[in-house]
Structure 1
Amino acid sequence: MKRRTFLQAATVGAAAGSVAMPAIAQSSPEIRWRLTSGFPKSLDTLFGGGELLAKYVSEATDGKFQIQPFAPGEIVGTPQAADAVGNGTVEMAHTCSYYYVGKDPTFAIGTNLPFGLNSRQTNAWLYHGDGNGLLNEFYARYNLFALPAGNTGAQMGGWFRKEIKTVQDLSGLKMRIAGLAGQIMAKLGVVPQQIAGGDLYPSLERGTIDAAEWVAPYDDEKLGLNKVAPYYYYPGFWEGGPAIHFFINLEKWNSLPKSYQAALQAAAGYANVDTQAKYDARNPAALRRLIGAGAQLRPFPQEIMESAYKAAHEIYDELSASNPAFKKLYDSYKAFRGEEYLWFQVAEYAYDNFMIRARSRG
């Protein structure tokens, strides 16, 4: 009897094991995704964000969830990345939302609005001001789900072939500039151009364009823009704290096991922090090198800043009146910006202002 009882128990245990094993296997499936990047491999800080995500997702899932990054053009170009994710050509993209304002100007808010939030404020809005929730409500129209993927910090105003002293100097100037910033600069007389990062140098060299903005010293040096346009302006008021995103096909995201979703969210969060940390660490030396090589550092004249600020808010009011999706996101963004700068003018600005003056005194 004892032997029979033991065998019966063993049989029941084996049957239970045969049921449990597939359930465990199904919870950790083998998944292979492709990620199309909006940034060339030569820009290691930006392209590297996608590589970092892939590395940590693989390690967190014991290699069962693999994501392979591809440079622009290897599958689709940067302008087609959002559509490629939405229609399932690829599962993911690592790109800037504002590249797709041609689909809807609301895409601009996902990256940064001119005279918008700085990088810390952007993260605060995305993570704790319901910014990413509101954005994903909008992105769902295009079968997209987004995770914050990085920030550059306040960018430079770009490289100009001639010195800019007044608003009149901008009249007829052909400038590579992305997002709603192009519309704003057009109000000041600029002729905006949409040109990929890898094409900026030859376009400036040939005189096809007169000016180009990209990111900041570390990346701008890699593109060699100082060799074809000597005047380096700041700040890039159109990108005070631009967010980068991972766009994920919404259906693919929803089909992932919760553990894989968590791995993606954690890896994206690390890439978000790491990207700006790299820029902050590398930009100072790059700026020194650029100036040493002859770059002429210039602040934008106050007249241009004030005129652009006025033009920006005229456009936001026009878009809010005609585009309900833009209005919903902009209302949240604008209210958050007001509260953030109320706080930042107290401790943050006072501390930074003192430290900058202390440094200048040696």
Structure 2
Amino acid sequence: MDRRSVIKNAGLAGILAAGVAPAVHAQAAVRWRLASSFPKSLDTIFGAAEVFGEKVKKMSGGKFEISIHAAGELMPAFGVVDGVQQGSVEAAHTAPYYFFGKDECFALGCAIPFGLNSRQMTAWMYDGNGLKLMREFYAKYSMISFPGGNTGAQMGGWYRKEIKSVKDIKGLKMRIGGFAGKVLERMGGVPQNIPGGEIYPALEKGTIDAAEWVGPYDDLKLGFNKVAPYYYYPGWWEGGPQLDFFVNQKAFDALSAENKAIIEAAASEAHVVMQARYDARNPNALRQLVAAKTQLRPFPQDVLTEAFKQSMGLYEEIGAKNESWKKIYADYSKFRGDQNLWFRFTEATFDRFMQAQKL
């Protein structure tokens, strides 16, 4: 029997009657849950997880759906890594440096003081050894990572009083994300790791003296300018903080090859969309903050110098006792040096000229 002629000339009944079964590759529906570390009100960061979920559903024709849950809905903002590791949820969207208390290496997957900027971080991840090295590390926690967004270089935060010199850092109680708190502590400050949704009341009540979050767009929404007048820059601890999608390794391994590719593609789109939104929205938000009497201030040079010195000392100390850090940071540091050499002649020079023009 000529199989091709039967299929071409017969209807379904004829095919079945001839004993020729059509190939069927129907995939079972997949339903996951994702726990975010962020509130829904922050449409830039939380929104990246929504972009991820929407793309997964669209690319799978609705057969793979991921429900997105804000911080506190399924678990606390800082409980998402445990949730993924234990399989309570299949995925999470978070800033890895929140979990430096488990191991300092989490910070290398997000941002460290005086580290890579956003473009350099993406380059390290996608064309350097970053993704390989970080996935080797995250495997200890039974999860696999996918780059899930970047804010770009951040602002240096909101202060109730002026910072005139490095002396003003001593005793300063500051909400500061992740790993940077270690440097602030070495400078005499008192770091506080507080979720985004809880920063405003702490600053308003004076429980803390200063707080940083991301930049103008988010900070305006959170209203920090109403309780702290001084807005400093740059955020030397966050030159290019990357967020990640963490996926439970067993859950990922159970996916079809097609769904694995969908996860990777959807995460990449969310990665690009997040920074695009920040870059597009921050300028107007900064104008609004200045119009509302926000006092913009650059950090004094001695603050930056001391912070840099303490950061480099800290990395050396950690490397002496943490083999994983030593391995990853060696690669990170070399990549950073190469990138800064290149950017010095191109991006930085071009940017300085353009920013001096009155366009």
So what's the TM-score if we normalise by structure 2?
A: 0.95
SS at match of 1:33: strand
In the alignment, the residues of structure 1 paired with residue 252 and residue 138 of structure 2 have an alpha-carbon distance, to the nearest angstrom, of: 13
Q: Which amino acid aligns with 1:117?
A: L
Partner of 2:273: 274
In the alignment, the residues of structure 1 paired with residue 231 and residue 15 of structure 2 have an alpha-carbon distance, to the nearest angstrom, of: 77
Partner of 2:37: 38
SS at match of 1:236: coil
Asked if 1:218 is matched to 2:223, the reply is: no
SS at match of 1:345: helix
Structure 2 CA distance for partners of 1:174 and 1:60, relative to 1, 3 Å = same
In the alignment, the residues of structure 1 paired with residue 285 and residue 188 of structure 2 have an alpha-carbon distance, to the nearest angstrom, of: 31
Partner of 1:155: 154
SS at match of 1:76: coil
Structure 1 residue 113 displacement after superposition:
1.1
Partner of 1:113: 112
Partner of 1:69: 68
Partner of 1:58: 57
Structure 1 residue 309 displacement after superposition:
0.3
Q: Which amino acid aligns with 1:326?
A: W
Contact map agreement 2:15 2:21 (CA 8 A) in 1 = no
Structure 1 residue 29 displacement after superposition:
2.0
SS at match of 1:44: coil
Q: CA offsets, 1:197-239, max 9 Å, x none?
A: 1111100111000000000000000110000010000000000
Q: CA offsets, 1:148-179, max 9 Å, x none?
A: 01000000000000000111111111000122
Structure 2 CA distance for partners of 1:357 and 1:12, relative to 1, 3 Å = same
Partner of 1:256: 255
In the alignment, the residues of structure 1 paired with residue 203 and residue 178 of structure 2 have an alpha-carbon distance, to the nearest angstrom, of: 20
Structure 1 residue 147 displacement after superposition:
0.2
In the alignment, the residues of structure 2 paired with residue 10 and residue 226 of structure 1 have an alpha-carbon distance, to the nearest angstrom, of: 72
Structure 1 residue 180 displacement after superposition:
1.7
In the alignment, the residues of structure 1 paired with residue 357 and residue 17 of structure 2 have an alpha-carbon distance, to the nearest angstrom, of: 76
In the alignment, the residues of structure 1 paired with residue 214 and residue 150 of structure 2 have an alpha-carbon distance, to the nearest angstrom, of: 10
Q: Which amino acid aligns with 2:19?
A: A
Asked if 1:47 is matched to 2:46, the reply is: yes
In the alignment, the residues of structure 2 paired with residue 294 and residue 11 of structure 1 have an alpha-carbon distance, to the nearest angstrom, of: 77
Partner of 1:314: 313
Structure 2 CA distance for partners of 1:133 and 1:11, relative to 1, 3 Å = same
Structure 1 residue 255 displacement after superposition:
1.2
In the alignment, the residues of structure 1 paired with residue 145 and residue 127 of structure 2 have an alpha-carbon distance, to the nearest angstrom, of: 15
In the alignment, the residues of structure 2 paired with residue 67 and residue 267 of structure 1 have an alpha-carbon distance, to the nearest angstrom, of: 12
Partner of 1:350: 349
In the alignment, the residues of structure 1 paired with residue 157 and residue 19 of structure 2 have an alpha-carbon distance, to the nearest angstrom, of: 68
- More helix by percentage: 1
In the alignment, the residues of structure 2 paired with residue 196 and residue 290 of structure 1 have an alpha-carbon distance, to the nearest angstrom, of: 22
Partner of 1:14: 19
Structure 1 residue 319 displacement after superposition:
0.6
Contact map agreement 2:177 2:213 (CA 8 A) in 1 = no
Structure 1 residue 16 displacement after superposition:
3.9
In the alignment, the residues of structure 1 paired with residue 317 and residue 62 of structure 2 have an alpha-carbon distance, to the nearest angstrom, of: 49
Q: Which amino acid aligns with 1:63?
A: G
Partner of 1:283: 282
In the alignment, the residues of structure 2 paired with residue 253 and residue 11 of structure 1 have an alpha-carbon distance, to the nearest angstrom, of: 37
Q: Which amino acid aligns with 2:70?
A: A
In the alignment, the residues of structure 2 paired with residue 99 and residue 350 of structure 1 have an alpha-carbon distance, to the nearest angstrom, of: 33
Partner of 2:334: 335
Q: Which amino acid aligns with 1:14?
A: G
In the alignment, the residues of structure 2 paired with residue 12 and residue 149 of structure 1 have an alpha-carbon distance, to the nearest angstrom, of: 51
Q: Which amino acid aligns with 1:344?
A: F
Structure 1 residue 14 displacement after superposition:
3.4
In the alignment, the residues of structure 2 paired with residue 355 and residue 110 of structure 1 have an alpha-carbon distance, to the nearest angstrom, of: 31
Q: Which amino acid aligns with 2:219?
A: D
In the alignment, the residues of structure 1 paired with residue 253 and residue 246 of structure 2 have an alpha-carbon distance, to the nearest angstrom, of: 13
Contact map agreement 2:97 2:108 (CA 8 A) in 1 = yes
Q: Which amino acid aligns with 1:109?
A: L
- What CA RMSD, in Å, does the superposition of the two structures yield over aligned residues? 1.6
Report 1:129-144 matches (<5 A): 129-144=128-143
In the alignment, the residues of structure 2 paired with residue 179 and residue 329 of structure 1 have an alpha-carbon distance, to the nearest angstrom, of: 18
In the alignment, the residues of structure 2 paired with residue 132 and residue 13 of structure 1 have an alpha-carbon distance, to the nearest angstrom, of: 52
Structure 1, unmatched stretches of 5+, are none
SS at match of 2:49: helix
Identity %: 52
Q: Which amino acid aligns with 2:238?
A: E
Q: Which amino acid aligns with 1:317?
A: E
Q: Which amino acid aligns with 2:137?
A: F
Asked if 1:295 is matched to 2:294, the reply is: yes
Partner of 1:164: 163
Structure 2 CA distance for partners of 1:225 and 1:10, relative to 1, 3 Å = closer
Partner of 2:235: 236
